[in-house]
Amino acid sequence: RCLQLNSLSRVCSAPVEGDASQNIRLLQWNILSQTLGQHNDGFVRCPEEALTWEHRKYLIVQEILQNQPDVICLQEVDHFKFLQTVLGSQNYAGIFFPKPDSPCLYIEQNNGPDGCAIFYKRDKLELQGYDTRILEVWRVQSNQVAIAARLRMRSSGREFCVATTHLKARHGALLAKLRNEQGRDLIRFVKQFAGETPLLLCGDFNAEPVEPIYATILGCDLLRLGSAYADVKLDREEILQPSEDVAEFVSDSMKREPPYTTWKIREEGEECHTIDYVFYTPDRLKIKNCLDFPAGEQIGKNRTPSYQYPSDHFSLVCDFELLPSMENGKESDGEN
Ligand code: NDP
Ligand code: CA
């Protein structure tokens, strides 16, 4: 079942059935760096005033809080202190990891480097540990980063891991190859951190489903992940069907991805792509709902960002249920 929300605010408030205490709502969003959005991106159809921080900051906070996520994964964060203050007052705690050589720093009016952030709801979840990584390509550090966190549900003691990243941008075969290498390093990092713990791996991968990295992640035998937005409309039996053919599993999933997660107009024209994902461990996490994206008419002819939408990416909001692990046919809890 997919939440069909017709209000422009896309508030995710539908109750989720099942064992409510085991539900996890994740919000994944590239919020658009203030410095890059205002001075570098060239959003030619967005009014200048709509790109000011004064205008955007409340829209960003509103989008996050109205969805009431338990875990928030953000990219292009260059106002972490602001978010930490506001979200802190709403019972969230956060981790920030900046890009080592953020392009923001080369722009005069910057507010520091941009990077990834993970926030979690303190009354529901307890941070058990986290790690950060500068992603490597052919053994050399790149300018892209990842964060991984281990969270424990206070009600049951069950644990899960969440990881987020923002891979290298721009088009071209070489860059697709580079993203794939970053993805391989990301997998190594996340596997080492999470072990057998159920995983939510999300971010702005800057890659359409046809790019090699999509197959690298979904085809990875170590992690055995599915894609939440691709799986949400399937019956659970269909998702868990053991696939003999990995290539077929990946291409089926690819076809079910949403039509876009980012939609903007630059000087060179319109860019409408699916490049943001929420990957998850299907045998330990049940995907229950995914928040739909606004339709073209709702977004408006100038696309995003706009007075209405503070980022050129839409937020992905997913409801999961954390399932017990079955060890020797017996339920085991509080495991790692
Ligand atoms: P990326 O190539 O990953 O992109 C940086 C940002 O630019 C991303 O947030 C990306 O957003 C955005 N972006 C993507 N496409 C465009 C576009 N067509 N026009 C404007 N912005 C776009 O950056 P890296 O971290 O690898 O850093 C490289 C960049 O940083 C260089 O391109 C350079 O401009 C800048 N830089 C400048 C230096 C200097 O001036 N001396 C030194 C170091 C870096 P999204 O992911 O949402 O697509
Ligand atoms: Ca961007």
Predicted ipTM of the assembly: 0.93
Residue 99 Cβ contacting ligand 1 at under 6 Å: yes
Residue 171 Cβ contacting ligand 1 at under 6 Å: no
pLDDT in tens, 247-257: 999 999 999 99
Protein residue with least CA distance to atom 20, ligand 1: 41
Contacts of 157 (CB under 8 A, 6+ apart): 333, 334
Residue 34 Cβ contacting ligand 1 at under 6 Å: no
**Rounded percentage of the chain residues whose pLDDT exceeds 70:** 92
Pairing label, strands 125-137, 199-204: unpaired
What's the mean per-residue pLDDT of the chain?
Answer: 93
Q: Which of 301, 287, 323, 306 is nearest to 59 (CA)?
A: 306
Question: Beta-strand (E) ranges in the chain?
Answer: 23-30, 71-77, 92-98, 115-121, 125-137, 140-153, 159-166, 199-204, 226-227, 262-266, 269-273, 276-280, 285-290, 316-322, 325-327, 330-332
pLDDT in tens, 195-248: 999 999 999 999 999 999 999 999 999 999 999 999 999 998 888 777 779 999
Atom of ligand 1 nearest to the CA of 144: 25
Q: Which of 91, 42, 48, 60 is nearest to 269 (CA)?
A: 42
Atom of ligand 1 nearest to the CA of 166: 46
Ligand 1 site-directed mutation target among 34, 36, 277, most atoms within 8 Å of CB: 36
Residue 168 Cβ contacting ligand 1 at under 6 Å: yes
C-alpha distance from residue 121 to each of 118, 218, 291 (Å): 10, 28, 19
Residue 42 Cβ contacting ligand 1 at under 6 Å: yes
Protein residue with least CA distance to atom 2, ligand 1: 169
Protein residue with least CA distance to atom 34, ligand 1: 103
Residue with tokens 């876009």: 260
Pairing label, strands 330-332, 71-77: unpaired
Beta partners for residue 115, in sequence order: 77, 98
Instruction: Mean pLDDT check: name the lowest of 149-158, 241-250, 253-262.
Output: 241-250
Protein residue with least CA distance to atom 32, ligand 1: 103
CA of 261 to the centre of ligand 2 (A): 12
Q: What is the mean pLDDT of residues 50-75?
A: 98
Contact at 8 Å (CB) between 214 and 167? no
Residue 179 CB: number of other CB atoms within 10 A?
Answer: 28
Q: What is the mean pLDDT of residues 125-132?
A: 98
pLDDT of residue 19: 74
All domains in the chain, ordered by first residue: 20-324 (3.60.10.10)
Protein residue with least CA distance to atom 1, ligand 1: 169
